A and B are shown apart, each in its own frame.
Chain A
Amino acid sequence: EAQVTQNPRYLITVTGKKLTVTCSQNMNHEYMSWYRQDPGLGLRQIYYSMNVEVTDKGDVPEGYKVSRKEKRNFPLILESPSPNQTSLYFCASRDPGSSAFFGQGTRLTVV
């Protein structure tokens, strides 16, 4: 079954404690991306990757890092989380000319 898997689904952490949200896809897609969703703001792209070892900033990259060492995995790293990073995060993958597949989301709370 084609899918994008994110973990964890829910996470509560404290300010400044590094965390990683994992994302894995099984469709051999080249393109993967991270979005955050906030009320009234829709989905905003954080980072994207067009292939292994190729990453670039989206619209709201501050405070986030990503890596793409393997085609299937695209983890999102918060080196020093802050309360304004409390949000719902989605990982997605797609190829040109196709629709995007989304993970189930990770609800992050930073206290």
Chain B
Amino acid sequence: AQSVTQPDIHITVSEGASLELRCNYSYGATPYLFWYVQSPGQGLQLLLKYFSGDTLVQGIKGFEAEFKRSQSSFNLRKPSVHWSDAAEYFCAVASGSGYALNFGKGTSLLVTP
């Protein structure tokens, strides 16, 4: 069965520190991979996506993610976190030709001064 796992429910980092949010997937087909962010009281905003090509993708707000097929992972990174990055982050996967998006359960990021 297809699944998306975000192993960390909560993560706390200090402002200015680096960040890595983990995402692992179990998928038979070539996946399309996404990271979304949800600020408190807001909808979901697309941070970045990977469909093919360069396995290191750049997104908005200084985020990047790396697709590692051998590890079935698509981890999200940011070199220096800002207080405004505090939010819920969701990894999502879709099959290449399909419509359905499968979401992980999310990682809640807290940024401390």
Contacts and interface: CB of A to CB of B under 8 A. Distances in A.
A104 interface: yes
A43 B90 CA distance: 9
The DSSP consensus for interface residues of chain B is loop
A48 B98 CA distance: 12
28 contacts: A30-B99, A33-B100, A35-B103, A40-B9, A42-B90, A42-B104, A42-B105, A43-B90, A44-B103, A45-B100, A45-B101, A48-B100, A50-B99, A90-B43, A92-B101, A94-B99, A96-B97, A96-B99, A97-B51, A99-B49, A100-B34, A100-B46, A100-B92, A102-B36, A102-B44, A103-B43, A104-B42, A104-B43
Nearest to A102: B44
The CB with the most chain B CB atoms within 10 A, among A33, A42, A44, is that of A42
A48 B44 CA distance: 18
Interface string A14-41: 0000000000000000110101000011
B79 interface: no
A103 B42 CA distance: 10
Interface in A47-94: 48, 50, 58, 90, 92, 94
Contacts of B34: 99-100
B46 A99 contact: yes
Nearest to A58: B100
Nearest to B44: A102
A94 B101 contact: yes
B32 A97 contact: yes
B31 interface: no
A43 B103 CA distance: 6
Contacts of A44: 103
Contacts of A103: 43
Interface string B15-28: 00000000000000
A35 B100 CA distance: 11
